Structure 1
């Protein structure tokens, strides 16, 4: 366990990630990693760590479980599938152009767990200066259909009733079931009172120059 904690510390410092932030992003309490260390120092063999929590910490750090547990193999980064492309302006956006999971893969950004996460690529320059062409947006759909209440007011990847994909700030519409889609670019048109198949909050924006496709 001491060697696992040492590898966690080394990788965490490479990512400039605090111990508390790592624990929270891995689905633990903010003192989760610290508690492992305390229990290890107290002589507990496994320090309260289990396979599930180790797996989540490895994913959050962007390393393989084998490397984290035993220091074997390379410090391999997991990948995330790119589902397609989205737009925000007048051009027709392309969305879900690849079969599920069959699109290009991009290396998972540090600090982001790949579990349940999908990426889309920005098409065109209609989202300047917030997002640029080629940038990647990562999101998680917690429901197959519908618009969860906690995404309203935030930047989201959405699919409208016509099957078009967009990146907009979602606002409540004038009637239940309708939504205003606010453009990120002040010069682009806002879409009023649209019905949506689903909406998912953008978890991370990754500039094109940092993305590593595999």
Structure 2
């Protein structure tokens, strides 16, 4: 039984124990009408951590009661939020590696493996509505220099040539070695033809209020 099966089974049991139904829980959690049913039937194979937190709050239980068999890994694997990345704000890179220390620690969401994962927090709103101030971004450094070709065109955590950290959509620039750092907020400026030290795509983004924190 994989983690998705465990979540589905525990969720069905908890709903029955609380004398409610899938539709009522989905409505109270602010999900679409079939949101809970889709998790139980495995139509949604990897529900987000934020969704599980909302459902747990409706049922009046801890999210670990839904995660069940994955609870030990959920509570064991804490990830340091190593620093902040600018989304419109200019933020110096504090720590580009996972070293165990950081601003604070968050629980590794069940959708990703904790191995090699780094977390950072968004400051500024240039990537709104995709990423809001305070969002926790999870990424993994695939390379110490440059950017993997498959990450070009995607939202990435970026360290520019001046040691500043950003979250931007990265596109190829007008010359080799240069990149456009694109803001998604139409009221924010983008940076054109920039040199970067490295960039890695964002694997997962969660509002700070939706992650377990120490």
Assess, with a 3 A threshold, how the Cα gap between structure 1 residues 130 and 64 changes in structure 2: closer, same or farther: same
Listed as ranges, the gaps of 5+ residues in structure 2 are 12-38, 47-68
Please show how residues 113-128 of structure 1 align to structure 2 within 5 Å.
Answer: 113-128=113-128
Residues 76/196 of structure 1: CA separation in 2 closer, same or farther (3 Å cut) = same
Unaligned regions of 5+ residues in structure 1, if any?
A: 23-60, 66-74
Q: Deviations over 1:139-169 (max 9, x none)?
A: 1111111111011010100000100000111
Task: Map residues 26-45 of structure 1 onto 2, 5 A cutoff.
Answer: none
**Structure 1 segment 24-173 matched on structure 2, within 5 A:** 62-64=70-72, 76-89=75-88, 91-96=89-94, 100-103=99-102, 104-173=104-173
SS in 2 for 1:175: coil
In the alignment, the residues of structure 2 paired with residue 150 and residue 135 of structure 1 have an alpha-carbon distance, to the nearest angstrom, of 24
Shift of 1:20: 10
> Root-mean-square deviation (CA), in Å?
2.8
CA contact (8 A) 1:151 1:200 kept: yes
TM-superposed deviation, 1:128: 2.5
**TM-score (ref. length: structure 1):** 0.66
Q: 1:86 to 1:79 in 2, by over 3 A?
A: same
Q: TM-score, normalised by structure 2?
A: 0.66
Kindly tell me the number of residue pairs found equivalent between the two proteins: 162
Is the 2:159–2:198 contact (alpha carbons within 8 Å) kept by the matching residues of 1?
yes
Task: Return the index of the structure with the highest Cα Rg.
Answer: 1
Shift in Å, 1:21:
5.2
Partner SS state of residue 76, structure 1: helix
| Cα drift, residue 192 of structure 1 | 0.6
Indicate the SS of the match to 1:64: helix
Match of 2:35 in 1: none
- Look up the match of 1:206: 206
* Distance verdict in 2 for CA 1:139–1:98, change over 3 Å: closer
1:7/1:153 CA distance change after superposition, 3 Å = closer
